[in-house]
Structure 1
Amino acid sequence: MKRTGGQRVVEVLRKEGVRKVFGVPGESYLAVMDAFYDHSDIEYISARQEGGASFMAEAYAKASGDVGVCMATRGPGATNLSIGIHTAQQDSTPLVALIGQVERSFKNREAFQEVDFVPFFSHLCKWTVEIDQADRVPELLHRAFHIARSGRPGPVLVSLPEDMLEDLTGDVTHTPYHVNSIQPNTESVKQAVSELSKAEKPIIIAGGGVDLAKAQPELIQIAETLQIPVVTAFRRFTAFPNSHPNYVGSLGMGAPAYLLDYIKECDLILALGTRFTQLATNNYTLLNENTRLIHVDISPDVLGKVYTPTLPIVSDVKEFTKELLKNIEPIKNQQRSYNLNEINKKYNTYSTTKEDYSEDYVDMDGMMHDLIQRLPKDSIITNDAGNFFTWLSRYYRFDQADTYIGPTSGAMGYGLPAAIGAKFAKSERVVVSFSGDGGYMMTMQEFETAVRYNIPVIAIVVNNSIYGTIRSHQENKYPGRVVGTELTSPNFAKVAENFGGYGERVEKNADFIPALERALSAGKPALIEVLTNPEILTAGQEKNVKIQTLTQ
């Protein structure tokens, strides 16, 4: 039976098991949108801006474990979408972005909204392709899904010329295909066992590969059997339960000195599914030159990119940990036990919340203490970039897999749309986004999307009327010389109400828990705006150390 190129696109999506597509409607892919009309099993989620749509799709992929799908029209729509594509690339998230394109005969004439997408997006994606023939849609689009989810997952961009989507094509037989997990080399596993057994002061760094492979149970057994402390990479908190006695903290901006010093003293590091990012390595200074490194990753391109491994192992993390468990024996070593207990004590001291409260503003230490007591343990937390994140990363303990979704790319505006995407995937879970006032205003229009689709997320907006992270950098490098970081904000709670949701402004700690209770029971998208002290920008900052708050 003859089908249009647009209909073939939707057929592929159905075969790949896609249930949600996030986008902003555009005239360049109307043929695809029309094909959705006949397939109620795929829901097109219409966002208010393409950047928000791409964040929703990226977070949906993380929460569901499936490939996320987002769509945008050519030119400005596609470039708006790029922020989520970049996030997926840095976070190793499987994502397929479908982009409308100008008609084939109009190309290379600077046609309306024309962009040459293949070179434009090539460095942001695992693969970029433009489909010029409708009969190749099934072949190339199934390949796009395969590339997005295989090896180190990531984004793939598919450009769809408008006239191609209207062409008729005959029957096709292409179907989805999956490859087996990559197994570790047997000899390499034996070498790893030997290294781990003889090391005097080893540590494990657990990265996103642990999350993607669902290897937490095996990693827990390894850490307990070998008496090794575990640290998680930047914004990879759920790679290991944070309340486990072998957990000792997370890497990233503001990582505590006790942890960085301990890692530098280690003689062996087992790195699992991590690419040693700039932030995780404290500007690439984390390891000393004498540290031996066993680096396990599914992608050979990651190995040696930052640190030269003593033992490089290309493998799916779960497959490696399963094989390692078959070969290790329990270690009873007093020095290892002592080291583990001491570093775990330091983590517990560092990460225990303080019941600090204020009548003049919301003290973030006290707010985090109250939040942790009230939220269900399986709640999903998303966040923006910003200094407010230091309270979340320091005090919130993620003890279950799939409870944290955040951008390692540091993208602002991520929190709210990510929460919406996660709630679409896990409707039974409480989903809470954290944003500063700066980041929230970048995508706050997506609160209307949540209202329109009745997605009851809770947005917590930490409002100090400052671009806090940049202000901190200003004060460190150019004290007293404030430029461009002062903000004004609307009453976010009132805006939420105007959108049709629930909103509440909290000005002191005593009012936070009641507001949270009302938000949890609202039955619709809710926002809690907390007004904080603009002179306290970072968790752990001494209350008597003030920063400049007025432009000079």
Structure 2
Amino acid sequence: MKVSDVLVRCLENEGVKYVFGMAGKENLDLINSLSRSKQIHFVNVRHEQGAAFMADVYGRLSKEVGVCLSTLGPGATNLLTGISSAQLDHSPVVALIGQAGVERQHKESHQFLDIEKIYEPATKWSTQIKDSQNVPAIIRKAFKLALMEKPGAVAISIPENFSSEMINNMPIPVKNLPESVPVTEAINAASTLIRNCSQPFIIIGNGVLRQNAVDVLRTFVNTLQSPVTHSFMAKGVLDKEHPCNYFTFGFSEEDEVLPGINEADLLIVIGFDFVEKLPKDWNTKKIPVLHIDTLPAEINEYYPVEIELVGNLQKTLQLLNNTALPKKAWKPLGTLKSRIISAYQINENQRQPSNLPFTIENMLHCIEELTSEYTIVVSDVGAHKVSIARTYQPKKANGLIISNGLASMGVAIPGSIGAKLACPNDLVICITGDGGALMNFAEIETANRLGLPFIIIVLNDSELKLEVQQMNKLFGESFGVTYQNPDFVKLAEGYRIKGRKARNLDDFEKALKESLQTLEKMVLIEVFLQDSK
């Protein structure tokens, strides 16, 4: 059997449903083999970066490995940004990359780059197939590594001369990943540590979602009744109305939760990834830490671990819950929660759109009120990402997708394609600035071709708002961060999708309601917020 046919058999063996990518001379054998698969749908995209972002968000939401494909040279380098994003956001992704034949790799050659070395710092494992007989073993190892905690990206480059070779090797059976739990002595020591503290503060990270530990985490919180805060990527673990919910932390400025954290005598840190925010930014007092995660704690001066529980989070928290933990209820600074609600502009009451300014916060409140639990908001990167992290409250875990590792602009539109394929029955709403939108706007054609109905909200202010804010603060003026934008509604119509403009909150609410009632295809809403130009 041809190597590319065996490789597709290996992908089918791993349960792959989608491969996102672009064709090029060096991967044509593989694409031809994919065309005969009854299981795998090849999603041909408009740019390799979009393919990697699709695989990233698909992997994060489905908890299966997202797979993307490119050819060599510029195809491989285009793919790199999205692969780096998956690595830092801990999404399981495998990249298959066409490469020059081995006969021309030892010398200067057209479009040849050392892909294996380029991808090395951006992945858990970067390798090149050097012997076609090893294809099944390499694919099995790649998928295992991509899924193992902490999940991430793997890159496999495939020299074109191997793809058409004939081999007899077949896929290697998939085995469940090994799981471990802390020893009884460690669980008991952690329980004692909690009993002996007075004011624990719980910090939740994205690992809780990755490990399907939301329910046991809620039991843990409901028992202790201690205050809880979430990283950007863990929002939705606790309901907005939960009395212990102190919402989100990890902002560069005006992080309203920090005074409460500083009052604690123990930080219970569960499934948190340092890539979201280093401890020096939120544990300046070096408060003792109970570390609960899938991997041992990193050594950090501002992360003084008293005890660490390392293992499967769902099972570890269940064991901890079984130790009859005591109630540890307390309220940081008394009125801190009400101050956070006010500062973060978290909506507690019904709005009257005609009486309110058209700010991003009020737009987000409108989305919250008009959508159900089965909604996924995908945020691009920019000033609006910070506003969404502060204000928007998803109704379920993984109801908000924020890239907070690499934090690359351009993730939202292709990411929404990955989200809709992973969760086809959920409403997907993409919120992007004009800068991020135009980086991967062409993927609207991909979504339209696939018949994926979701809503794109483009915030049109003709500038990189976050950079404008930062430059004005540093220098009193901004430079090099403004643009002339197209008419996004007309641009959407050019892609044969419906577009609407919203210049006030009434306009937006009407456009959103109409979109929700007739959402059979994509809809784009071009938004001009009150402080926009």
**Distance (whole Å) between structure 2 residues aligned to residue 375 and residue 420 of structure 1:** 19
Show CA shifts across 1:439-483 (max 9, x none).
111111111111111111111111111100111110110112x21
2:383 to 381, 387, 390: 387
The 1:303–1:151 alpha-carbon spacing in structure 2 relative to 1, beyond 3 Å, is farther
**Distance (whole Å) between structure 2 residues aligned to residue 200 and residue 288 of structure 1:** 19
The alpha carbon displacement at 1:250 in A equals 0.8
Aligned residue runs from structure 1 range 131-280, under 5 A: 131-172=129-170, 174-253=172-251, 256-277=254-275, 280=277
Indicate whether 1:310 and 2:306 are aligned: yes
**Distance (whole Å) between structure 2 residues aligned to residue 146 and residue 132 of structure 1:** 20
Show CA shifts across 1:478-523 (max 9, x none).
112x211111111111111110111111112211111112222141
Q: Is the 8 A contact 1:368 1:391 kept in 2?
A: no
**Distance (whole Å) between structure 1 residues aligned to residue 506 and residue 512 of structure 2:** 11
Aligned residue runs from structure 1 range 425-440, under 5 A: 425-440=422-437
Aligned twin of 1:376: 372
The alpha carbon displacement at 1:359 in A equals 9.9
Gaps of at least 5 residues in structure 1 are 536-548
Matching residue's letter, 1:492 = F
**Distance (whole Å) between structure 2 residues aligned to residue 63 and residue 426 of structure 1:** 8
The alpha carbon displacement at 1:255 in A equals 6.2
Identity of aligned residues (%): 28
Say which SS state the counterpart of residue 168 (structure 1) adopts. coil
The alpha carbon displacement at 1:329 in A equals 3.0
**Distance (whole Å) between structure 2 residues aligned to residue 371 and residue 515 of structure 1:** 11
Aligned residue runs from structure 1 range 12-411, under 5 A: 12-172=10-170, 174-253=172-251, 256-277=254-275, 280-281=277-278, 284-300=280-296, 302=298, 304=300, 307-331=303-327, 336-339=329-332, 342-350=335-343, 351-353=345-347, 355=351, 362-408=358-404, 409-411=406-408
Q: Is the 8 A contact 1:383 1:416 kept in 2?
A: no
Gaps of at least 5 residues in structure 2 are none
Equivalenced residue count is: 528
The alpha carbon displacement at 1:339 in A equals 4.0
**Distance (whole Å) between structure 2 residues aligned to residue 171 and residue 352 of structure 1:** 57
Q: Is the 8 A contact 1:199 1:267 kept in 2?
A: yes
**Distance (whole Å) between structure 2 residues aligned to residue 208 and residue 527 of structure 1:** 30
The alpha carbon displacement at 1:328 in A equals 2.8
**Distance (whole Å) between structure 1 residues aligned to residue 497 and residue 471 of structure 2:** 36
User: Which segment drifts farther, 149-158 or 178-187?
Assistant: 178-187
Aligned twin of 1:545: none
**Distance (whole Å) between structure 1 residues aligned to residue 5 and residue 302 of structure 2:** 45
Q: Is the 8 A contact 1:358 1:509 kept in 2?
A: yes
Q: Is the 8 A contact 1:252 1:280 kept in 2?
A: yes
Q: Is the 8 A contact 1:75 1:114 kept in 2?
A: yes
**Distance (whole Å) between structure 2 residues aligned to residue 315 and residue 436 of structure 1:** 39
**Distance (whole Å) between structure 2 residues aligned to residue 473 and residue 361 of structure 1:** 24
User: Which segment drifts farther, 110-119 or 26-35?
Assistant: 110-119
Aligned twin of 1:529: 526
The alpha carbon displacement at 1:369 in A equals 2.4
Q: Is the 8 A contact 1:493 1:504 kept in 2?
A: yes
The alpha carbon displacement at 1:198 in A equals 1.6
The alpha carbon displacement at 1:140 in A equals 0.8
Q: Is the 8 A contact 1:229 1:340 kept in 2?
A: no
**Distance (whole Å) between structure 2 residues aligned to residue 255 and residue 326 of structure 1:** 39
Aligned twin of 1:420: 417
The 1:257–1:69 alpha-carbon spacing in structure 2 relative to 1, beyond 3 Å, is closer
Aligned twin of 1:544: none
The 1:126–1:174 alpha-carbon spacing in structure 2 relative to 1, beyond 3 Å, is same
1:463 to 441, 460, 463: 460
Q: Is the 8 A contact 2:268 2:290 kept in 1?
A: yes
The 1:126–1:171 alpha-carbon spacing in structure 2 relative to 1, beyond 3 Å, is closer
The alpha carbon displacement at 1:158 in A equals 0.6
Show CA shifts across 1:242-285 (max 9, x none).
332111021122564431111122110011111233x534x823
What TM-score do you get using the length of structure 1 for normalisation? 0.91
**Distance (whole Å) between structure 2 residues aligned to residue 263 and residue 329 of structure 1:** 21
The alpha carbon displacement at 1:113 in A equals 1.3
Aligned residue runs from structure 1 range 471-486, under 5 A: 471-480=468-477, 482-486=478-482
**Distance (whole Å) between structure 2 residues aligned to residue 116 and residue 275 of structure 1:** 30
Q: Is the 8 A contact 1:50 1:77 kept in 2?
A: yes
**Distance (whole Å) between structure 2 residues aligned to residue 303 and residue 316 of structure 1:** 21
Aligned twin of 1:446: 443
Say which SS state the counterpart of residue 142 (structure 2) adopts. helix
